């Protein structure tokens, strides 16, 4: 490796060109790695996305009534967010309206958010550690399915800071010690 770099330098290749070549090599390795990640095979990306949003549990939180109705929610009501909050040590968070996000943001943004836990701003109980494991192909399929549902404006409550309980309906996810009195 050192000899090949010395040879390139001796031939007039600049340090900048070496950095650029190294970055291209890293990007190529990531692309190869992503190509090797397992993905769902379905009749279309939209069908794959629908399947993934069900089996990955996206619908459980992002579709109001999904769990209570055992998944019998019409497509026009799916992934539009949930007004029931999730209360924990982080405060209260609400499952976002993914249809509105898909309507105003592009596929690349969707993949970026899922890979980076919304740039580090992602709130619990969203399982970001799991979401980042999807292949790019699957994340794109989930986006395409969500986008295919069309926009559905639905106003959701704002999250609360730690220690502040919500005023509406919520699920309490606080850890409690049953041995304490």
pLDDT in tens, 91-150: 999 999 999 999 999 999 999 999 999 988 889 999 999 999 999 999 999 999 999 999
The more confident residue out of 73 and 32 is 73
8-state DSSP, 61: H
Composition of the chain by helix, strand, coil, percent to 5: 50, 5, 45
Domain-located, residue 57 = yes
Domain-located, residue 38 = no
Domain-located, residue 80 = yes
Domain-located, residue 11 = no
- Closest by CA to 127, choosing from 59, 57, 27, 41, is 57
- pTM of the full predicted structure? 0.77
- Closest by CA to 113, choosing from 144, 136, 88, is 136
- The domain total for the chain is 1
Domain-located, residue 112 = yes
Where are the alpha helices (H) located in the chain, listed in sequence order?
A: 2-10, 15-35, 45-55, 58-62, 98-104, 107-116, 128-131, 136-148
Give the tokens for residue 73.
């929610």
Judged against a pLDDT cut of 60, whether residue 66 lies above it is answered with yes
Range of the domain at 131: 45-172
Average the pLDDT over 14-21 and give the result.
41
Name the phi and psi angles at 93, rounded to 5: -125, 160
Domain-located, residue 162 = yes
Q: Say which residue the tokens 């050192």 belong to.
A: 2
CB contact burial 97-136 (16+ within 10 A = b; e otherwise): bbbbbbeeeeeeebbebbbebeeeebbeebebeebeebeb
Domain-located, residue 28 = no
- pLDDT averaged over the chain? 84
Judged against a pLDDT cut of 70, whether residue 39 lies above it is answered with yes
Domain-located, residue 100 = yes
């Amino acid at each position: 490796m050192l000899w090949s770099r010395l040879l390139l330098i001796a031939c007039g290749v600049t340090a900048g060109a070496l950095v650029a070549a190294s970055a291209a090599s890293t990007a190529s390795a990531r692309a190869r790695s992503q190509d090797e990640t397992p993905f769902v095979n379905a009749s279309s990306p939209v069908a794959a996305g629908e399947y993934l949003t069900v089996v990955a549990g996206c619908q459980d939180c992002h579709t109001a009534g999904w769990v209570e109705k055992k998944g019998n929610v019409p497509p026009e009501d799916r992934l539009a967010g949930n007004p029931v909050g999730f209360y924990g040590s982080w405060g209260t968070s609400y499952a976002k309206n993914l249809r509105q996000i898909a309507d105003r943001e592009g596929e690349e943004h969707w993949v970026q958010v899922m890979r980076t836990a919304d740039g580090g701003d992602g709130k619990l109980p969203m399982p970001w550690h799991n979401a980042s494991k999807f292949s790019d192909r699957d994340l794109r399929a989930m986006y395409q399915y969500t986008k295919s549902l069309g926009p559905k404006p639905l106003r959701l409550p704002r999250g609360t800071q730690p220690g502040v309980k919500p005023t509406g309906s919520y699920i309490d996810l606080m850890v409690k010690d049953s041995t304490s009195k």
